[in-house]
Amino acid sequence: MPARDEASLAVGTEKKGRREEGHEGGEKRYEGPWWRFPPLRNALASGALLVLAFILSRVAAVPDWVSIALYVAAIPLGASHWGREAVEAVFRRRVNIDVLMAVATVGAAVLGLWEEAAFLAFLYGAAEGLEEYAYDRTRSAIRALLKLAPAEAHVLRDGVETLVPAAEMEVGDLFLVRPGESLATDGVIRRGSTSINEAPVTGESMPVSKEPGAQVFAGAINLTGAIEVEATRRFQDNTLSRIIHLVEEAQEEKTNAQRFIDKFGSRYSPAILLGALALLVVPTLFGGDFRLWATRAITLAVAGAPCALVMSTPVAVAAAIGRAGKRGVLIKGGLYLERLGSLTTVAFDKTGTLTKGRPEVTDVVPLNGASPQDVVGAAAAVERLSEHPLAQAIVRKAGKERVVVPAAEGFQALTGAGASAQVDGHRSYVGSPALFQKLGADMAEALPAVARLQEQGKTVVLVGDERTVTGAIAIRDEVRPEAREAIESLRRSGIRRVVMLTGDNERTARAIASQLGVDDVRAGLKPDDKVRVVKEMEGRKERVAMVGDGINDAPALASASVGIAMGAAGTDAAIEAADVALMGDDLRAVAYAIQVGRRAQGISRQNIVFSVGLLAVLIPLSVVGSIGVAVAVIVHEGSELLAVANGLRAAISPRSA
């Protein structure tokens, strides 16, 4: 691959720019068959001329000038792509891999080694073409997601259904989506209920039930019922388009390894050219055979070109980020992919991350002769007039159990203690055990139940009046069903420590941590306390990922080596706050992201070791004349293609994901 020095980025933004300028629309990339990809097409034509010249010279015994003419014609065809970049590099006064190849090709031709010159131009052109095509397809694979959103939508205007291009839809348009159809853009359901497959956006494989008021995303597939959706984003700005844009930007960002290789390459390539020049001049000045040492100098220029080294990381980065993006995991750059691969600790926020973020009733304990239905009904009668999250959990419980809820009046909120209302002619209370102790109610039967439930990390609400406690209701923000499996996956991925950071009380936090197998718990933390804890862990040489909602936990996300925001689909703030954005709410995606990072890092290291080892062997062999130009070209281009092929393996999902 041409050198990607500091001014010519790894897998070059310059090359990317030229590719895009060559297509209408600026951002369009090549999508035809591989053999019609311009660099490959020209290289194949060069190869055909090379084969014809070889056959004619070896079999038909034609005059030398015929085969030479064919070799001469094959050279500019094979070098049509990389030759232009070599000329541009010379005009910029830079020496890169293209310049080394150009010097070797011209040198071979000057020495009359027409076959070798044509062979070098063809093989390097073919390798470059295949690499460009593979990289282009890797970068463009994420764009296939756009095809999931329909080009047209059934927009309802003045009650009339009209088929309009999706690109012409405006925010506020109401559009109809029938079963089996995909959503053209992001929106909110205004009428109808359904089940939706959101896998293209969030990576969630199971269908999600949606009711009026629920948010839906472009590209999601409507499975069951017809729905009317109000557009909240234009087609050009929808979640699917933003995912594609973010992934493509991220694929251009470099890892530390890439930056080092770029810097190294900007010095190494000129050194190889100077070394080749010295190999020609010095022995010749001392009476050496000019042709012999010129051939060795050409061989050194080819053998020493660091193509495989330069390609050791970029393809793996692009492939990994693209693959993760299609699974609803947005990694915002090569640097963060690299950091994912070296994490030792994962810190989770509790509420809304390890837990569902919505309190639910877990236990109903009737006391003093009451029934469970009596307890829930009396509590719901009081609490349905309250907006408190615990009150709403009790009301939802009554609805699920279809409990008859008596009428209540005279509602009164008791700040920090509970609430009361007039139910069936007498005042009922719902609140903390401290409230009933203050009222002077008989707590003898209630206290053992309260102690038992609180030991489990649950919030206990009592129901009754001034004299009698009729029941206890335990409420807890339940853990996500996949949370324990996700933590086990993290351990299998090589994470040494899992930490919970929460503002909740110590007892509740430890109960949930015990349930999930978390190693360390830090409770009662304010946002700045979470930042302090993360910095402490980083100070102990731990490489920490912080997982949170991306908004409330933004300071801690920014302080960690990698900030991971969950449930970021449709949320600009969450995506902005984090280095990695999980479009869905499945905690298992955290382990998947880390596995992708580790895999990409491992592949990059393999390529680097392979490339450096190959250079260490080829350079001495070329200097002492143990290999010729043809062998150097074959090994050089073969190693480049091997590095590309190995890098593309990063697009394969890890087995344990």
Question: Would you name the residues annotated as active-site residues?
Answer: 349
Of 481, 559, 445, 8, the C-alpha closest to 265 is: 8
CA distance linking residue 46 with residue 475, whole number of Å: 74
Q: Are 334 and 459 in contact (CB under 8 A)?
A: no
Q: Which residue has the tokens 């500019």?
A: 76
Phi/psi for 328 (5° steps) reads 80, 20
Q: Is 54 exposed, middle or buried (0-12, 13-18, 19+ CB in 10 A)?
A: middle
Give the chain's length. Answer: 657
Give the bridge partners for 327, in sequence order. Answer: none
Q: Residues 6 or more apart from 69 whose CB is under 8 A from it?
A: none
Alpha-carbon separation of residue 511 from 448, 506, 609 (angstroms): 18, 9, 47
Q: State the pairing for strand pair 187-191/215-216.
A: antiparallel
Token code pair at residue 529:
């306390």
Partners of 408 in beta bridges: 423
- Helix ranges (DSSP H) in 56-113: 64-78, 80-91, 97-110
Q: What is the 3-state secondary structure (H, E, C) of 250-279?
A: HHHCCCHHHHHHHHHHHHHHHHHHHHHHHH
The gap from C-alpha 558 to its chain's centroid, in whole angstroms, comes to: 17
CA dihedral 190, 195, 198, 200 (to 10 degrees): -110
Q: How many Cα atoms are found within 13 Å in the side-chain-facing hemisphere of 517?
A: 11
Treating both helix axes as pointing N-terminal to C-terminal, what angle do 64-78 and 80-91 enclose, rounded to 10 degrees?
Answer: 60
Nearest-CA neighbor of 316 among 656, 609, 652?
652
Strand order in the sheet with 408-414: 355-366, 469-479, 459-464, 426-431, 418-423, 408-414
Amino acid, res. 624 = V
CA angle 242, 246, 247 (to 5 degrees): 120
Do residues 446 and 463 lie in contact, with contact meaning Cβ atoms separated by under 8 Å? no
Taking the C-alpha atoms of residue 358 and residue 492, their distance in angstroms, rounded to an integer, is 29
